[in-house]
Amino acid sequence: MEKTLVLIKPDAFANHHTGDIIQRYEQEGLRIVALKMLRMDDRLASIHYAEHIGRPYYEGLCTFMTSGPLVAMVLEGEDAIRRVRALNGKTNPAEAAEGTIRKAYALDGRRNAVHASDSPESAAREISIFFNQTEIYDG
């Protein structure tokens, strides 16, 4: 079974879409194996978005991601990374397919409701940023 990190971003949390988004993942047969609410601080943002440091959008991204609570979770399932990314839809909600999470809940290309790991390597790195092994249920 493959694991992936999902972040329900501050915009979706503030607009009360957290439960609806979680329900969508569960309806697709993905299993929640870790879940927590937190507020990302500057240090955590710099670790999570390390590959974006120096890019023109980095400061705005960090300001947005530290602006309010978010929900971090680890989802597990067959081909979880690809399935979650397909369910999320394209980053820009105007380009996202009907029925995707971003089409339904994203505000724009930056405030786009959710983040998901894009590869097994990213998933392993990102999961370890937000969760330690005792917080992940592997039963």
**72, 136 in Cβ contact below 8 A?**
no
Confirm whether residue 3 is marked as ligand binding.
no
Confirm whether residue 110 is marked as ligand binding.
no
Q: Which residue has the tokens 């917080």?
A: 135
Confirm whether residue 111 is marked as ligand binding.
no
Q: Which helix (H) or strand (E) covers residue 45, if one does?
A: helix 42-48
**7, 71 in Cβ contact below 8 A?**
yes
Known active-site residue 17: no
* Residue tagged active-site, from 16, 17, 52, 115: 115
Sheet with 2-8: list strands edge to edge: 31-38, 70-77, 2-8, 114-116
Confirm whether residue 105 is marked as ligand binding.
no
Which residues are catalytically annotated? Answer: 115
Annotated binding site: 9, 57, 85, 91, 102, 112
Annotated binding site for ATP: 9, 57, 85, 91, 102, 112
